[in-house]
Amino acid sequence: MIADMKVEDIVGDYQEVSLQLYGSITRKILYTQIETSYPDGKLIVSTTDPAGIITHVNRSFVEMSGYREDELLGAPHSILRHPDMPPVAFKDLWDTVQRGEKWQGFVKNLRKDGGFYWVKATVIPNVRAGKVVGFTSVRRKPSRTKVDECSKLYPTLF
């Protein structure tokens, strides 16, 4: 389950919007214009089950998202869904990995404190004994040029 974002968690001036997640759930999103820059030399890693429920996160994931590990495990990955991300990006992600292929793209993620961070993400299916048992996403630091391009492009994709 994903709870609404709470005012007491937010740092700085925020806007409010409602997002339809996971097909049906409506989540109240509070978000700010404060960016956290991607830490040099680190990878942010998470794994989900076949339905997109988080089953593993590494320490960098916890640090960057602002959530505790126990808040992340068992939550849908859309807990990081930022309102500025166009839904087509995630449709493409899911279509690609469900075909058994690798997906790569630039994602603006939402932190628990309402702030955001950009990543370059690669998502692959985890195939064990011929079966897809889940998906793993590994994020690395994106270049500023790519982030600027996506910041211009994404608003046109809604």
Partner 1 sequence: MSFQFTVSPDFTPDHLSGWYIFNTWLQKQTGLAIHLEMYNDFHSQRSAIQANHVDLIYANPFDAAMLVRERGFLPLVKAEGASDEALIVVNAANPVIDVAELQSGTRVAFTEDPDVRLMGMIMLEPADLDNGNIVPISADNYVLVAKQLLKNQADVGIFLAEAYDDLSAMIKSQLKVLVRSQISVIHHALMIGPKLQDQREDIQNLLMSMSADEKGQGVLKNLGFSSWQIVDDEEMEFMIDLMDTLNT
Ligand X SMILES: Cc1cc2nc3c(=O)[nH]c(=O)nc-3n(C[C@H](O)[C@H](O)[C@H](O)COP(=O)(O)O)c2cc1C
Backbone angles phi, psi at 93, to 5 degrees: -55, -55
Q: How many CB atoms lie within 10 A of CB 2?
A: 15
Least CB distance to partner 1 at residue 141 (A): 5
From residue 39 to residue 78, the character string flagging contacts with partner 1 as x (rule: CB under 8 A) and all else as - is -xxxx-x------------x-x------------------
Q: Does 152 bind partner 1 (CB under 8 A)?
A: no
Residue 28: which of partner 1, ligand X, none does it interact with, CB under 5 to 8 A by kind?
A: none
Q: By C-beta, is 36 or 126 nearer to partner 1?
A: 126
Residues 6+ apart with CB under 8 A from 129: none
Of the candidate spans 3-11, 32-40, 131-139, 148-156, the one that interacts with ligand X by CB under 6 A turns out to be 131-139
Q: How far apart are CA 157 and CA 86, in angstroms?
A: 6
| Residue given tokens 């910041």 in the structure block | 151
- First-residue to last-residue Cα distance in the chain: 26
Assigned token pair, 32:
């700010």
Least CB distance to ligand X at residue 99 (A): 13
Binding residues vs ligand X (CB under 6 A): 21-22, 46, 48, 52, 77-78, 80-81, 85, 90, 93, 107, 109, 123, 135-137
